[in-house]
Structure 1
């Protein structure tokens, strides 16, 4: 037997890079089959036999059992894509995998990794700027291509697209462009509900006093960032006469405060902590709806919608005139027993909307909710940044533009530019593969047709395999989704290409 000779300039020096690239390829293979109108679903099976069937990229990546550090880095990029624009995680993942594959190929040829990364960074910036220039502004909520954006991002579920557009019309374009609003958060789901757009809030809570009349009209609203109970007295003090007297005084003051709230005409109270049983009974007798242990996020929504200002318990000692300034107003507050939710409508402050998505089973309704969130995110992104030809067509045009730029690059960064050029062709190629056609043939056909017509709109019809004008066929994607996906993909590819060695850290001592 002969001893294996290790060439330090050979494959061993790239062991870390090829290992990381292999992990990224494994992750990408799990999601790239879902891309495009002919993409299929992935079944995720949990340790207890629970099943999720989805083609939502971020859901697949979140639920996968992943331990490889490079793969986890890619998943973090998908999370960033989801948080920033709420859609396009599959595109970001596919682009990252393609960029890394092309970058690794260049490094294995002997091109310094730093040069490849620098070229990728330069080309990604130019490509993002090209996408911005090409974006087409949305002409309003009645723009037909905005409806198509919802339809495509909603995976061609026409009923979900209609819900999203109807909800968008309730809020209006200015509200949807507000950086503080996440339109996807308006989506909720329930297997007992039908599809509905509710022009208000839907709170996942039950009232404490279920036995009372559960509809409240012209309701004044009180929000407490505290418990609704008497001021506490130390347990040690209760054993003394003075402490017991203080306890009784606190109870009397508490009862006086309850009467004061009733005199103010309050009909709906939401607290983030517990509610004393005496207060519960008191408000039940008067027909005042009370919620306890409401999340901070829901309390914030109640305040924004009704105009209420949150109070601490000590604030209940204020005069009625002072307290009235903290109250909000809603046209109606009711409890929907069928779906176990509180409905709040007609708030006097910021308009709100809830998109209710229903289905027959828990598993199906969960997937439909994910689809609706993607559609809502896409509509909001299109309103903020316009839209582009979809189906991978515009990426082909940007790749052509980068080819001309590559000819002007004299240094080895040109190899990094070439990696971006090849990666930009990957979305169309993968969409074509998922539709059952030859990617090499179809990508070249689209490229030649775009060049001949000087356009970025020519793509491939996944039903026939023929060329088509994507804008004429209503195949569009939000520009912000594509721009952020490219940015995220270039960042993760650059980070992994720079890794020379992976070292396990020692365990941190427990405190």
Structure 2
């Protein structure tokens, strides 16, 4: 019986290598995953702290990219060995989840996840351990840390603290931090800030008041009665419609109302026929009605939503089609103090009849869409719409001496803005990994767990909390063990300033981290690490050797893409 059982087990181990897919079990599976985790974490950890190093990333057919953004580094790590790559992918999920949740803290999540995963896998080697109970202990420890961070958190009460958070995210660049602080001071904490690439080498901010549309007048003849190429309409009526204006009769009621009220008329529609534009220009030049035609921004459903936003912001009714135009009343028209139109854009200022409750409802609707947005393009479009509704919008134009530098600086600005938003909402804690070290006593004060695996899980989280401070000190060239020892021996906001290489009151120097970033990082790390530690079977595709034709041109192309 014993011989038969031994033979079955031996056959299982031999057949594992002969499957259509590669199947690994137990300790071997976890060891292979851990190899990928370590490679990923080592690559990402180099970027942590003010003295963190840059990572240079090859990009086929275009210039290489240099960055200190942990999420960017993680998304570019691809390992040849499929088993190792699975471990790297799981760790990448930690960075992406943290980035999606709070927009920052990706490097912290990676370092914490690697530390917890290594200790969790080591614990499973020690003996008979219930891995599910171990996972519960790790998750319990992370919840205790999040609660301790909340108790430690302090509210952001002045613009100096905002600039301090931005400065940390921008690796100590004071000028860029002041740029963000001044912009938030001008717009308020709910203001919309967009990032775009500048054509010059310097960073600059442009703030737009009112509603600015990216479309101008449909014919340059509308500006003939003005000085220069800009037409200004004061105390202006506004007609918004989604109907294509193919005949003058469609807008004749609006023209008559404008003439009776002796006010200029701005018409925004998706399309104007050539004959309609000729009649409108003729009316303008003859002095009958001061009028201007502007094409509606966007296309399709996006155009419809933008026009609805504009109607709410201007206190007008959006006329969906020609039948609505035929039933036009004075209540359908919006009214604004001023509209300035040139060849490329339309600037509308100070609506007179906008309804506050409608505005708040529309703004809340767009904010819900922003939370559900997936792509950067979708997020940018929604933020632009939100800025138009709120009546003020800031654009930071990021400069640099090369495309490579602009891209890297833009990543930093994006992280800094997200960090500032989180800090304003949830408060800040001491930076430099100090806050995590101050959470260790909260874990130690917990009553002893009745289940050994739960206690083991808490200890895994406790030990991992030392790693951020250790890594920051290591990247700064200091003795990491000595730094961690001295910070633990201190209290409150006493910690290590890696930029200057000395110990100080971190809060007094403005070295702080957003509370929600640290909470998200430890929560996501605990989830991913506990899954890695409880993995028993690893299944991957068998490696397939690519067949490359003997044609020399094809060989060269294959070599170019790394085949």
Bin for the TM-score computed over the shorter chain: 0.7 to 0.9
- What is the distance in 2 between the residues matched to 1:60 and 1:311? 49
SS of equivalent residue, structure 1 residue 499: coil
Corresponding position of 2:412: 371
Paired residues in the alignment total: 457
Q: Is residue 495 of structure 2 the alignment partner of residue 459 of structure 1? A: yes
Corresponding position of 1:102: 119
SS of equivalent residue, structure 2 residue 136: helix
Corresponding position of 2:47: 34
CA 1:490/1:299 → structure 2, altered by over 3 Å: closer, same or farther? farther
SS of equivalent residue, structure 1 residue 17: helix
Corresponding position of 1:428: 469
Corresponding position of 2:381: none
- Comparing 478-487 and 93-102, the one that deviates more: 93-102
- What is the distance in 2 between the residues matched to 1:73 and 1:311? 51
Shift of 1:276: 5.0
CA 1:373/1:464 → structure 2, altered by over 3 Å: closer, same or farther? closer
Q: In the TM superposition, what are the counterparts of 1:297-336 in structure 2 within 5 Å?
A: 302=310, 306=314, 310-314=318-322, 315-324=324-333, 327=334, 329=336, 331=338, 333=340
TM-score by length of 2: 0.70
- What is the distance in 2 between the residues matched to 1:320 and 1:166? 44
Shift of 1:289: 3.7
Corresponding position of 2:151: 133
SS of equivalent residue, structure 2 residue 139: helix
Q: Can you list the C-alpha shifts for 1:162-200, whole angstroms capped at 9, x where unaligned?
A: 222222223334x36xxxxxx5x5333322485014044
Shift of 1:136: 0.5
- What is the distance in 1 between the residues matched to 2:92 and 2:345? 34
Corresponding position of 1:381: 422
- What is the distance in 1 between the residues matched to 2:176 and 2:500? 26
- What is the distance in 2 between the residues matched to 1:85 and 1:363? 25
- What is the distance in 1 between the residues matched to 2:258 and 2:74? 51
Q: In the TM superposition, what are the counterparts of 1:483-502 in structure 2 within 5 Å?
A: 483-502=519-538
- What is the distance in 2 between the residues matched to 1:398 and 1:319? 65
Aligned residues of 1:437 and 1:465 also touching (Cα < 8 A): yes
CA 1:109/1:167 → structure 2, altered by over 3 Å: closer, same or farther? same
SS of equivalent residue, structure 1 residue 319: coil
SS of equivalent residue, structure 1 residue 477: strand
- Comparing 341-350 and 426-435, the one that deviates more: 341-350
- What is the distance in 2 between the residues matched to 1:191 and 1:149? 27
Corresponding position of 1:417: 458
CA 1:15/1:328 → structure 2, altered by over 3 Å: closer, same or farther? farther
Q: Is residue 144 of structure 2 the alignment partner of residue 120 of structure 1? A: no
- Comparing 414-423 and 292-301, the one that deviates more: 292-301
Corresponding position of 1:51: 64
- What is the distance in 2 between the residues matched to 1:186 and 1:368? 14
Q: Is residue 298 of structure 2 the alignment partner of residue 290 of structure 1? A: no
Q: Is residue 467 of structure 2 the alignment partner of residue 446 of structure 1? A: no
CA 1:61/1:463 → structure 2, altered by over 3 Å: closer, same or farther? closer
CA 1:150/1:63 → structure 2, altered by over 3 Å: closer, same or farther? same
Equivalent in 167, 170, 175 of residue 151 of structure 1 = 167
Aligned residues of 1:223 and 1:310 also touching (Cα < 8 A): yes
Aligned residues of 2:137 and 2:454 also touching (Cα < 8 A): yes
Aligned residues of 1:268 and 1:333 also touching (Cα < 8 A): no
Aligned residues of 2:432 and 2:472 also touching (Cα < 8 A): yes
- What is the distance in 2 between the residues matched to 1:284 and 1:80? 55
Aligned residues of 1:81 and 1:484 also touching (Cα < 8 A): yes
CA 1:369/1:444 → structure 2, altered by over 3 Å: closer, same or farther? same
SS of equivalent residue, structure 1 residue 196: strand
CA 1:307/1:430 → structure 2, altered by over 3 Å: closer, same or farther? farther
- Comparing 93-102 and 386-395, the one that deviates more: 93-102
Aligned residues of 1:283 and 1:290 also touching (Cα < 8 A): no
- What is the distance in 2 between the residues matched to 1:85 and 1:424? 20
SS of equivalent residue, structure 1 residue 405: coil
- What is the distance in 2 between the residues matched to 1:330 and 1:367? 42
Shift of 1:109: 2.4
Shift of 1:117: 1.0
- What is the distance in 2 between the residues matched to 1:308 and 1:69? 55
Shift of 1:262: 7.3
Corresponding position of 2:398: 358
CA 1:254/1:359 → structure 2, altered by over 3 Å: closer, same or farther? same
5+ residue gaps, structure 1:
177-182, 231-250, 506-511
- What is the distance in 2 between the residues matched to 1:28 and 1:284? 65
CA 1:58/1:334 → structure 2, altered by over 3 Å: closer, same or farther? farther
TM-score by length of 1: 0.76
